[in-house]
């Protein structure tokens, strides 16, 4: 079933792993017209899973069951009308936090480590990139002539162009002028045990964590993306399809969570 889907190989493997949980459920409870709803209720009772994890299992089951129906291995589509689990948006960064970061970064000496930090923050703040997208970037993915970065998005095999903000272009130029590397990983480790190797998402989180600790900012690296998306939703007044072009979400389900939070914050004074 998953081999017939037009998705990346990584996504296909993730579906194949997660569907085992649903198959074990059907081994015990059988497969009938209410199985998808019953599976959702079963997941709801699994306290060891986060809401995000429950949704991933539920989506895998939906894709699988819809695929079975598509190839006529089951007589009817049984996933209609069953909603996913409600996600709650974590708090992102504030305007005050961003102001602190901008002042801090502008005062840094132009060393390699400092320019690397500024470049990473620019990609988070002005481009809304995910952590995995930042660490996967190569030098050759950056085109200063076109002011574009080629990004391998979440669950995608091919790269897509993301147009760079002038501030991002400026700091990347400064970083690469000092870095003097023409190919390979854009961001590399300077630690003794893996010097020169590609930074990992864990390493990036630690770099941001140290910076936040210095500035007494209560947040995480993912807070940049929260901030980016919230700003987009406010700028485009809740036009989620437009926002999804820049946030590169395949589904607007997560954007609806951000939009609900923006509306709630605006309603609180009233």
| pLDDT recorded at residue 150 | 96
Q: Which residue has the higher pLDDT, 192 or 147?
A: 147
108-155 pLDDT per residue, tens: 999 999 999 999 999 999 999 999 999 999 999 999 999 999 998 776
Question: What is the helix, strand, coil percentage profile of the chain, to 5?
Answer: 55, 5, 35
152 CB-side CA count, 13 A? 12
Torsions phi, psi for 148 (to 5 deg)? -135, 145
Looking at residue 216, the DSSP 8-state letter turns out to be T
DSSP E strands, the chain: 142-143, 148-152, 159-163
Prediction pTM value: 0.70
35-54 pLDDT per residue, tens: 999 999 999 999 888 887 89
């Amino acid at each position: 079933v998953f081999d017939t889907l037009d998705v990346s190989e990584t996504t296909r493997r993730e579906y194949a792993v997660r569907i085992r949980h649903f198959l074990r459920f059907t081994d015990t409870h059988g497969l009938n017209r209410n199985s998808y709803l019953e599976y959702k209720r079963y997941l709801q009772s699994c306290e060891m899973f986060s809401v995000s994890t429950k949704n991933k299992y539920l989506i895998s089951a939906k894709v699988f069951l819809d695929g079975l129906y598509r190839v006529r291995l089951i007589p009817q589509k049984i996933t209609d009308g069953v909603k996913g689990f409600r996600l709650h948006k974590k708090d992102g960064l504030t305007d005050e936090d961003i102001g602190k970061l901008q002042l801090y970064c502008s005062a840094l000496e132009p060393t390699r480590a400092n320019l690397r930090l500024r470049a990473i923050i620019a990609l988070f703040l002005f481009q809304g990139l995910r952590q995995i997208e930042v660490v996967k970037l190569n030098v050759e993915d950056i085109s200063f002539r076109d002011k574009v970065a080629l990004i391998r998005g979440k669950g995608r095999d091919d790269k897509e162009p993301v147009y760079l903000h002038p501030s991002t272009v400026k700091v990347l130029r400064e970083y690469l002028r000092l870095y003097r590397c023409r190919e390979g990983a854009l961001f590399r480790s300077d630690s003794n045990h893996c010097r020169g190797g590609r930074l990992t998402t864990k390493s990036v989180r630690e770099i941001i964590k140290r910076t936040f600790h210095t500035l007494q900012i209560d947040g995480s690296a993912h807070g940049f993306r929260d901030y980016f998306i919230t700003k987009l939703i406010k700028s485009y007044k809740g036009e989620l399809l437009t926002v999804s072009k820049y946030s590169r979400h395949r589904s607007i389900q997560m954007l609806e969570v951000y939009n609900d939070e923006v509306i709630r914050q605006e309603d609180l004074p009233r």
